[in-house]
Amino acid sequence: MSVSVQLGLLLALATAFTSVVGFLYKFRGAQAAPEVEWRRPLHSSIALFQSGWYTLGILVAIVGWGFHVAALSLAPISLVQSVIAGGLVLLTVVADRIFGYAVSRREWIGVALTAAGLAFLAATLAGAGHDAESHYAPGTLAIYVGTLSLAGAAVAVAGKDSRRRASTFALSAGLLWAASDTSIKALSGHLGSDRLGVLLDPLALVILIASLVGLLVSARSLQLGDAVPVIAVTSAAANVCTIAAGPLVFGEPMPDDGVGIAARLLAFGLVVGAAALTPPPVRPIPETTPVELRRDHPPTPLES
């Protein structure tokens, strides 16, 4: 494994941690903000940023996004996502030990199985640790990113009338962010030739739109559900689809023997089993209850 790939994986680990911390701060801020209005996206976005906690979460997430972009430019997408997926285990630890959120035993087990399954899924990609593997066919990329974007939009529309709106909005945000992450990986292959020119590349616009729409959809899921299950659903959806982009879009090798295929099926089984085990992210507290008085939202270290 090259030094650049090793550095990329270290940055992926930093991405995992900052992503979890940023998500939890955004959760607190979204719960305190007015309900997201789909017909007034700009107004809703401004209202969210008026919450100091949400803004802090975004700032932390931006730092994590920078780590992610750097990691994708240095290492294969499947390996980067395997580290980030494995880092999902940090969610329950940080939520429980640092933020003081009550985390049930089922959530501990469900998140751990999700992280293990996702990491194992990406790790079964054989021979993907030598370089960044950012080559792709434009048509294949367009179909994959377009499918993820349309699926994310369709799930969000369906979620408006669903009884499990938190889950569907979380899934939608994950799909949109997977489209963005796949586009980031593709765009990273152009950094060596023209670093400033990438800002004018059509992929840059795709990244911007998918990221911003996913951000608003994610905020609504955080308003409707509990922190750990919502974040787990979003992260799992984003990671599964981004890991799949490795072999499907960027030509990373797939296992061609029975053991490799069995390992891949086991990994998918872990993810599916974790999804069944993790309780649905239903918000049990009325929206009118002040955040400061909610028993399951004790002060974070910054509030103490």
Tens-digit pLDDT profile for residues 102-113: 777 777 777 777
Exposure string over 74-97, b if 16+ CB within 10 A, otherwise e: bbbbbbbbbbbbbbbbbbbebbee
Burial class (CB in 10 A: 0-12, 13-18, 19+), 211: middle
Q: Which residue has the higher pLDDT, 271 or 22?
A: 22
Instruction: Please give the pLDDT value at position 197.
Output: 58
Q: Where are the alpha helices (DSSP H) in 124-201?
A: 138-159, 165-188
Residue corresponding to tokens 């305190």: 32
Q: For 25-43, what is the mean pLDDT? A: 92
pTM of the model: 0.75
As a whole number, the mean pLDDT across the chain is: 78
Q: How confident is the model at residue 299 (pLDDT cuts 50, 70, 90)?
A: very low
Indicate the angle between helix axes 77-86 and 52-74, nearest 10 degrees: 140
Residue 281 tokens read as: 């992210």
Instruction: Please give the pLDDT value at position 145.
Output: 95
For the ranges 99-103, 107-111, 236-240, 279-283, the lowest mean pLDDT is seen at 279-283
Cα–Cα distance for residue pair 241/165, rounded to 1 Å? 21
For the ranges 1-15, 80-94, 107-121, the lowest mean pLDDT is seen at 107-121
Instruction: Please give the pLDDT value at position 301.
Output: 44
Of all helices (H) and strands (E), which one includes residue 68? helix 52-74
Residue corresponding to tokens 């030094």: 3
Residue 113 CB neighbours (<10 A): 21
For the ranges 73-82, 88-97, 190-199, 248-257, the lowest mean pLDDT is seen at 190-199
Instruction: Please give the pLDDT value at position 24.
Output: 93
Beta-carbon contacts of residue 88 (< 8 Å; ≥ 6 apart): 16, 20, 111, 114, 115, 118, 232, 235, 236, 239
Q: Which residue has the higher pLDDT, 106 or 158?
A: 158
| Closest C-alpha among 279, 276, 270 to residue 86 | 270
Distances (CA, A) of 261 to 20, 140, 220, 240, 256: 31, 23, 38, 16, 7
Straight-line distance from the first to the last Cα atom of the chain, in angstroms, rounded to the nearest whole number: 44
Distances (CA, A) of 240 to 88, 114, 154, 167, 236: 13, 10, 18, 16, 6
Cα–Cα distance for residue pair 224/287, rounded to 1 Å? 9
Q: Are 269 and 101 in contact (CB under 8 A)?
A: no
How far out from the chain centre does Cα 299 lie? 25
The pLDDT of residue 296 is above 50: no
Question: For 79-103, what is each residue's pLDDT tens digit?
Answer: 787 778 777 777 888 888 888 887 7
Q: Are 162 and 107 in contact (CB under 8 A)?
A: no
